[in-house]
Amino acid sequence: MKEIGAHLSQESLIKSISVFKIYSIMSGQATLFKPGVYELSRDLTLPEIVNVLTQGNHEDVKVVIPEGLTVKDIEAILKEKGVLADNQGFDQAILEDWSVDYPFLRNQVSLEGFLFPDTYRFQAGSSLSDILVKFFDNFEAKAWSLVNGDKKWRDQLILASLLEKEVVDFNDRRLVAGILLKRMRNDWPLQVDATIAYAKCRGQFLGCPDLLVRKSDLNIASPYNTYERLGLPPTPIGNPGQAAIKAALSPQNSGYWFYLSSAKTRETIFSKTLDEHNINRAKYL
């Protein structure tokens, strides 16, 4: 309430912060202020302003972006919520134009990985620019702060996106990060099913009619096919959260070369040899 009063005073919407506080308390509305984006006129009386701020702005839309969603997934959610207009899309963003304010976008070809998963509040019918500023500011604060300074930060972000889709537990993610890095050092293909699903579903996990990766999908022609191509995919395959990024930054060395997720429990099962891995495949998949 104190901060709200100060902001209203700075905008000359109220004459006295003290009177604002006293009225809010005496009217029983001091704890009822709602977050949102408001347009207030200096013609409004103090009771009218307090009433507006406690009723809430119905055009302020809460949007939850879960970890691991792709740019196309997030765009679909924002359009469904009425935040992003149907004639707008993230593909209209020219990333180089944003690179002065957000240096992590320099030389990037995709927004994938830079739309940080979190709970956001947008105004209905927001411009693409306003939406991107919120995402980029949040990425800068919560992700860039973790990877900035690492020469291979982009690879870390890509690796984090794989961990986000492949493994649930943090410590297991660290082990899988170690496995994938070891495979790359030894010129092994990564063989990450989530990259096949990303290619198969054309970058959109939500609403994909068939996310299941089958043997026939493993020869799909795509730069994201980590069964046929060595190294990391060209971009992240989604937008990882902080836990996945931290796991990518702290890989755990082990004697394991293989892993899989139990079809029933999603528990990660590790193996040191291909024979052991094949036994686990028959047992858990």
Average pLDDT of 208-230?
96
pLDDT the model gives residue 187: 98
> Using an 8 Å Cβ cutoff, are 260 and 161 in contact?
no
pLDDT the model gives residue 36: 74
Nearest residue to 112 via CA among 91, 84, 86, 127: 91
Question: Where exactly are the structural domains of the chain?
Answer: 2-55, 60-147, 153-284
Predicted confidence (pLDDT) per residue in 222-240, tens digit: 999 999 999 999 999 999 9
Average pLDDT of 127-151?
96
Paired residues of 62 in beta bridges: 121
58/148: higher pLDDT: 148
- Check pLDDT > 90 for residue 41: no
pLDDT the model gives residue 57: 67
Please, which pLDDT band fits residue 189 given cuts at 50, 70 and 90? very high
Residue spans of alpha helices (H) in the chain: 2-10, 17-26, 46-55, 71-80, 95-98, 128-139, 145-147, 153-166, 170-185, 193-200, 242-249, 274-284
- The CATH code for residues 60-147 is 3.30.1490
